[in-house]
A and B are shown apart, each in its own frame.
Chain A
């Protein structure tokens, strides 16, 4: 299938929009948390300024860093951006969407993490090692849990294509299902863990010994750090968009629909992201971070929920 120009334009707009909006989402979460604590908080656009500042700054690299250390920030950013390009944000039927499915998104994010963990250990500082080992420990349970929710969705929609899943969910034929509820909870738990949010990790901490993601990237600075920060924002937007497009698929513009539908899709997406960011801020304010060794229990619950969701579907189908 040769994609036409309009489809390419929509796909291009999607990639640019996701990239442009990602820091704003992170900024909104920060703002919500600050307001909940009666602080004024940084301006919503502060993260853009921080990124611009980091890009201008010199990148200090450890003497013993290998090429991997320098390459990883760009690799992580690229993989995360490609994964974000595959998630229907305001329109389904994205051009790239047909070339890769949900499992590809899991794989892209997984490889980004793999390389980041390698880079964390590359310069041989103890914090990089601690961060990498904790991150991988979290990932070993988060990824299967993610895959289980993917299976649940695939079984319901009959496809692992996100566009198809979103379209199927939007039709209303699916209806309310216990499996979907379980899958939603599991996916949210995975999203919290994967994005290093409270209660799994604390993105705002200055305590070296408790960090997970931050410990891994402690040695990065300048443009390298900017790439990693941007990738982290992208990942958060990706997960929020993913949850939104699967579980609240309304307002998505269908393939080949007109400009108005796309505008409605955009507004709906912005609204969904804003609601999700506020909810995330609210949740993060109300809980303390858990012990590192509780995280497997937390994610184990996500895995079990995903499994249960799949199982329930099989059972209900065979009745």
Chain B
């Protein structure tokens, strides 16, 4: 935390109390504030009294979601800005800089005082400006991007991507290095911007749900879950108990598959392909069991607003039980392999430290946060059903290096295995889907813990069965900037290893 000054929480809670409560957002507390209070709240966030969960805009309104670290409760703050200008959050609290750059170019709201005037997602090739605000046609010639400079004798630049030698998502990395030592890394993202929020605007809820499930394909269950819960909150729909438990089952299977894949992929980037081969085989088993149980390897479009559309049969349950047995039997040997390969440990231990202060400031979720001492898991700290009635451990380490991120993932694989067991044992019978009612208007907000961290979905329903506005915030938004800091002082050749240990989403970030 940056400043151990005021008594924790008091200032912020007081400020939130001063705002005008707004009732149309469920289920979090929401207040409408004026510009002065907005700045005061920003200052409290910058002082470490709250985590910034999300910051988004629509024409004339800007909102921020925060997590009060003292009361451990979330809240949404709304500021009306009819003139299209609002006091920048990023000017005081750096994690907000990229979201505000995106707000400026997507919605057209000007964050006054934002220190970075460059575009972020918009590379000047959309043929349109401010597509979510008042769209204006523009040439799609593309605009040169001014990378931050680093000057000194012997420094050289290494541009990497957006097209890489391997089959990975597109993103550009600009290294400034002194020999092998990285002096500065700057990311440029936005290459996979598909305009998801624009496509969702005015879309029927069911269609918007499939779009949400495609924000980041590897966490389609978590994204779909966050969106579905936001819609349910807005509409006041209660999903049936069986659906709630099945969602958790799918989410844990997804976490299992991705963490297994990540542990192997991290080792593979240190040219230790053996681990990759083993975890790859296990990941494949998870995907096959998921296909048997829910009819889709990634369980895409299985979670919908109101419930789920795939039931778990006896065959599926047996496949998942067999899977848990297989993974549980194989895991100790893999952990021994990881622990017993000094050449591998030599690469992971001490590499790419993300400091606890930075991780706390950026409120990094997922293994990135938990490996650097940020004890936050949306399943526990913003508990949503059925996790409130499930027992699971959340491992928090403080080393903050690649090794710690691997170990957090391994612990989460073990925790997910136990959770799958618990869920299967407690799975209630009953309906799968409750119809989403159509209120006149309504806003809902929800989070879901994806394998890489908390994804947040905010939605406003139009009342005619369509989505008026939606905002999805992947955990990667607050992890990418920390990656830039974690590589400093490391060598260029260690970047792939470090990047893989973060495994941020490009698609989920670019939307």
Interface residues on A, range: 20 to 34
Please tell me if A52 contacts chain B, counting CB pairs below 8 Å.
no
A209 touches B495 (CB 8 A): yes
B165 touches A207 (CB 8 A): yes
B164 touches A126 (CB 8 A): no
B274 touches A207 (CB 8 A): no
A285 touches B343 (CB 8 A): no
The 0/1 profile, CB within 8 Å of B marked 1, for residues 281-305 of chain A is 0000111111111100000000000
B343 touches A293 (CB 8 A): no
Please tell me if B269 contacts chain A, counting CB pairs below 8 Å.
yes
The 0/1 profile, CB within 8 Å of A marked 1, for residues 64-78 of chain B is 000000000000000
B343 touches A209 (CB 8 A): no
A207 touches B341 (CB 8 A): no
Please tell me if A33 contacts chain B, counting CB pairs below 8 Å.
yes
A209 touches B346 (CB 8 A): no
Q: How far is the CB of A203 from chain B (nearest CB, A)?
A: 9
Contacts of A287 in B (CB 8 A): 272, 341, 343
Interface centre among A38, A198, A205, A289 (most CB of B within 10 A): A289
Instruction: Tell me, in angstroms, the Cα distance from A115 to B431 when the chains sit together.
Output: 72
Contacts of B276 in A (CB 8 A): 37
Please tell me if A199 contacts chain B, counting CB pairs below 8 Å.
yes
Instruction: Tell me, in angstroms, the Cα distance from A291 to B179 when the chains sit together.
Output: 14
Instruction: Tell me, in angstroms, the Cα distance from A287 to B276 when the chains sit together.
Output: 13
Contact residues, A248-296 vs B (CB, 8 A): 285-294
Contacts of B341 in A (CB 8 A): 286-288
Instruction: Tell me, in angstroms, the Cα distance from A105 to B449 when the chains sit together.
Output: 60
B491 touches A291 (CB 8 A): yes
Instruction: Tell me, in angstroms, the Cα distance from A290 to B160 when the chains sit together.
Output: 22
Contacts of B437 in A (CB 8 A): none
A293 touches B491 (CB 8 A): yes
Q: How far is the CB of B357 from chain A (nearest CB, A)?
A: 26
Please tell me if B330 contacts chain A, counting CB pairs below 8 Å.
no
Across the interface, A208 reaches (CB within 8 A) one of B164, B270, B281, namely: B164
Across the interface, B344 reaches (CB within 8 A) one of A33, A37, A288, A292, namely: A288
Please tell me if A204 contacts chain B, counting CB pairs below 8 Å.
yes
Q: In chain A, what residue has the closest Cβ to B341?
A: A288
Q: How far is the CB of A290 from chain B (nearest CB, A)?
A: 6
Please tell me if B158 contacts chain A, counting CB pairs below 8 Å.
yes
Q: How far is the CB of A245 from chain B (nearest CB, A)?
A: 29
Please tell me if A39 contacts chain B, counting CB pairs below 8 Å.
yes
Contact residues, B87-134 vs A (CB, 8 A): none
The 0/1 profile, CB within 8 Å of B marked 1, for residues 24-65 of chain A is 000000000100111100000000000000000000000000
Contact residues, B314-365 vs A (CB, 8 A): 341, 343-344, 346-347
Q: In chain A, what residue has the closest Cβ to B272?
A: A288
Instruction: Tell me, in angstroms, the Cα distance from A207 to B496 when the chains sit together.
Output: 7
A292 touches B491 (CB 8 A): yes
Across the interface, B346 reaches (CB within 8 A) one of A33, A39, A290, namely: A290
Contacts of B496 in A (CB 8 A): 207, 209-210
Please tell me if A202 contacts chain B, counting CB pairs below 8 Å.
yes
Contacts of A286 in B (CB 8 A): 274, 341
Given known A199-B343, A289-B270, contact A126–B165 (CB-CB < 8 A): no
A288 touches B267 (CB 8 A): yes
A37 touches B493 (CB 8 A): no
Q: In chain B, what residue has the closest Cβ to A208?
A: B165
Please tell me if B180 contacts chain A, counting CB pairs below 8 Å.
yes
Contacts of A285 in B (CB 8 A): 273-274
B347 touches A291 (CB 8 A): yes
B346 touches A294 (CB 8 A): yes
Q: How far is the CB of A232 from chain B (nearest CB, A)?
A: 17
B160 touches A288 (CB 8 A): no
A292 touches B493 (CB 8 A): yes
Contact residues, B16-73 vs A (CB, 8 A): none
The 0/1 profile, CB within 8 Å of A marked 1, for residues 170-187 of chain B is 000000000110000000
Contacts of A210 in B (CB 8 A): 269, 271, 493, 496
Please tell me if B188 contacts chain A, counting CB pairs below 8 Å.
no
Contact residues, A91-133 vs B (CB, 8 A): 126-127, 129-130, 133
Q: In chain A, what residue has the closest Cβ to B181?
A: A293
Please tell me if A15 contacts chain B, counting CB pairs below 8 Å.
no
B277 touches A288 (CB 8 A): no
Q: How far is the CB of B434 from chain A (nearest CB, A)?
A: 45
Contacts of B347 in A (CB 8 A): 288-291
Q: In chain A, what residue has the closest Cβ to B164?
A: A208
Please tell me if B292 contacts chain A, counting CB pairs below 8 Å.
no
Please tell me if B4 contacts chain A, counting CB pairs below 8 Å.
no
Q: In chain A, what residue has the closest Cβ to B497?
A: A210
Interface centre among A37, A129, A130, A209 (most CB of B within 10 A): A209
Please tell me if A147 contacts chain B, counting CB pairs below 8 Å.
no
Contacts of B160 in A (CB 8 A): 208-209
Q: How far is the CB of A142 from chain B (nearest CB, A)?
A: 18
Please tell me if A206 contacts chain B, counting CB pairs below 8 Å.
yes
Instruction: Tell me, in angstroms, the Cα distance from A83 to B269 when the chains sit together.
Output: 34
Q: How far is the CB of B402 from chain A (nearest CB, A)?
A: 12
Q: In chain A, what residue has the closest Cβ to B491?
A: A292
Contact residues, A169-224 vs B (CB, 8 A): 198-199, 202, 204-210, 218
Please tell me if B157 contacts chain A, counting CB pairs below 8 Å.
yes
Given known A210-B493, A291-B494, contact A204–B273 (CB-CB < 8 A): yes
Contacts of B277 in A (CB 8 A): 37-39
Instruction: Tell me, in angstroms, the Cα distance from A66 to B278 when the chains sit together.
Output: 46
A209 touches B492 (CB 8 A): yes
The 0/1 profile, CB within 8 Å of A marked 1, for residues 258-277 of chain B is 00000000010111111011
**A-B contacts besides A37-B274, A291-B494, 9 pairs, CB < 8 Å:** A36-B274, A37-B273, A37-B277, A39-B277, A130-B158, A206-B167, A207-B496, A209-B158, A292-B491
| Interface residue ranges, B against A (CB under 8 Å) | 156-160, 164-167, 179-180, 267, 269-274, 276-278, 281, 341, 343-344, 346-347, 491-496
| Interface residue ranges, A against B (CB under 8 Å) | 33, 36-39, 126-127, 129-130, 133, 198-199, 202, 204-210, 218, 285-294
Closest 9 CB pairs of A and B: A206-B166, A37-B277, A289-B271, A288-B272, A288-B344, A202-B271, A207-B496, A288-B270, A288-B343
25 contacts between A and B (CB under 8 A): A36-B274, A37-B274, A37-B276, A37-B278, A39-B277, A199-B343, A204-B271, A205-B271, A206-B167, A207-B165, A207-B496, A208-B160, A208-B164, A208-B165, A209-B160, A209-B492, A209-B495, A209-B496, A287-B272, A288-B272, A289-B270, A289-B343, A292-B180, A293-B491, A294-B346
